[in-house]
Amino acid sequence: MTIYYFYCLIIYFCSFSLIYTINDDNTWPWKKTNYLFRSNWSSLLNPNNNNNNNQHPVWFIFYYLNYCGYCKKAEPGWEAVAQYAINWSKYIQIGAYDCASESLSIKDICQDEKYPQWRIYCPLTNTTHLAFSSEQRTIKTKPEDILIWLLNKLNNIADQCYGQQWPIKNLIEPKTKDDLDKIIPKSVNKFQLFISDDILLYTLFVLNNSKTIQTEPIYRLAKQNQITKDISIIKGIRENTGQITLQQIDSEQIMKPFVLDKNIISHFETINRKNIATLKPTLSDIDSATVWMINRDLRRGLPDLTENVKSWIKTLYTYYPGSKTMKSFLFNLNEFVKNYTTLSPNEYQTYINSTSIIKLPQLKFDHCNGSDSSKRGYPCTLWVLFHSMTVKQAILAEQNALPSDIKPSDVIVSIREFIGNFFLCEECVTHFVNMTINAENEIKSHRESILYLWRSHNIVNKRLRYEEYTNDPNWPKVPFPTKEQCNLCVQQIDENGDATEYNENETYKFLKEFYSLNNSMRIQTYNLILLFSIVILNILISNK
């Protein structure tokens, strides 16, 4: 059980990749963290001593200096902590305070120590406890390390810091069900037993169930106990007769779908990215590729390449993996161009701008957002679109939804023709066309179509890896997927950690999930994908 909960914690931090930039006025755009000032310090933090029932949360506060480069490097990680703990607000709030704003004559909030600092604010005593200082932090320290340090520290001082209503309970040691009846208050009708020797895992589980913890408290038992037979989680119910019944929960099976390799790269190792970018392709990336090519590339080919434009629009519509709006637009555009033997640029643009009742969305790069406007962008979204189209073709084939005359190589051949006819980078066109010149003979299955494009993409990445003008330093062109992204895919790595050998069966499964129809159409960012792993886990376990 321990390893599953540890992975669930790591999953979120390893995938939460929203990176925020410093504004021009040197203020930090805190999104999830409560930004504290001297003016709101007392109103937010100090408990209302006139109302003992008004329980205030503990605060985890990031003390920093706005001119401190070391502090700025820690800021994105602290934002990730705030995002992770967003549902803990009843018990724990995440805040930040700029000690550079302190008056030289008033220093009751900040202390003259090295920054950054992480402190625990205790509402009962109106004091802070230094929990993780800069001296204890190294370049390898991850945001999850800091959070774990804070939680462990808090558990040691919880009684004096928060009081008896703190939901993390001491270990109980019942020997029989009758002992449970004596330990658990008569007013509690539903509860859970969390069996683990790890207080941290128990703490995380309780806090992630903050919304139900008052009506369904969670008690911890040692792994070796006399009533549960080493079951990870047990639901307890007090019947109308007053007797307690226990229901076993197969928590291991619940958690299996959400387990990722523990060596996934930490969020903290990506904090130097200058732009917001998501690790997983999104709907916006696919739609943006299509908007760009419709408005620019295809229009340039008219009227001479009318038949090529018609052919590509038909292919694009057939295998389009993006939004319903764009799918509807492509259907109407396909019907429109059918009527023309020769289509002029003006007729084409008039239809898009005026005639069509469906308007194209604005360009918005998520996964393909580069460190500056010259990086990633449209070429990146094209790759995303092409990969997603091969996956869509494979899915349609599995559903027997393809015409009998369709060949597995058709999508790659159409992509090759699109690149050859419409893409404007001459060198890129030459390389891609030569690389895929024999696709018709090499691709014999829909599975092979997905892998064929994947191999081709890695060949391009290898060729461009050290190109100064095309390679984004924040998104290095390394073999994909990396071992951190898919541990089962990578069978061998070199001294730089780059994959040199893949298990293609596992890689095929990974690519189908990474570029799948469901993920492209229903999920806006990879951060949301990983967030649901924790949310759904808790819902399933707490399901009444």
pLDDT in tens, 13-51: 444 433 333 333 344 557 778 888 888 888 888 755 544
Q: Quick one: which H or E segment has residue 490?
A: strand 490-493
Over residues 228-250, the pLDDT tens digits come to 766 678 888 888 887 888 887 76
Query: 259 exposed, middle or buried (CB, 10 Å; 0-12, 13-18, 19+)?
Result: middle
Query: DSSP character for 121?
Result: E
Q: Can you name the residues that pair with 60 across neighbouring β-strands? A: 94, 120
Sequence-distant (≥ 6) Cβ neighbours of residue 466 within 8 angstroms: none
Q: What is the CATH number of domain 283-477?
A: 1.20.120.310
**For residue 533, what pLDDT is reported?**
42
pLDDT over 50 (residue 390): yes
Q: Give the lowest-confidence range in 49-58, 95-104, 328-337.
A: 49-58
d(CA 156, CA 122): 12
**For residue 405, what pLDDT is reported?**
84
Are 320 and 386 within 8 A, CB to CB? no
Over residues 156-188, the pLDDT tens digits come to 888 888 888 888 888 888 888 788 888 888 888
**For residue 29, what pLDDT is reported?**
57
What value does the mean pLDDT take over residues 490-516? Answer: 88
Task: Identify which has the larger pLDDT, 500 or 518.
Answer: 500
Q: Give the lowest-confidence range in 254-268, 383-397, 461-475.
A: 254-268
Q: Give the lowest-confidence range in 87-91, 253-257, 260-264.
A: 260-264
Both tokens assigned to 144: 């999850």
Phi and psi angles of residue 71, each rounded to the nearest 5 degrees, phi first: -65, -40
d(CA 388, CA 396): 12
Are 164 and 175 within 8 A, CB to CB? no
Determine if the pTM surpasses 0.95. Answer: no
**For residue 446, what pLDDT is reported?**
92
Q: What is the mean pLDDT of the chain?
A: 77
Band of residue 270 on the pLDDT scale cut at 50, 70, 90: very low
Sequence-distant (≥ 6) Cβ neighbours of residue 430 within 8 angstroms: none
Task: Identify which has the larger pLDDT, 325 or 5.
Answer: 325
To the nearest whole percent, how much of the chain has pLDDT over 90? 18
Which one of 20-34, 102-116, 157-171, 501-515 scores highest in mean pLDDT? 501-515
Q: Which of 482, 488, 397 is nearest to 444 (CA)?
A: 397
d(CA 208, CA 183): 24
Both tokens assigned to 111: 């202390």
Choices 3.40.50.1100, 3.10.150.10, 3.40.50.300, 3.40.30.10: CATH for 41-164: 3.40.30.10
What value does the mean pLDDT take over residues 143-154? Answer: 85
Q: Which of 93, 92, 18, 28 is nearest to 64 (CA)?
A: 28
**For residue 526, what pLDDT is reported?**
37
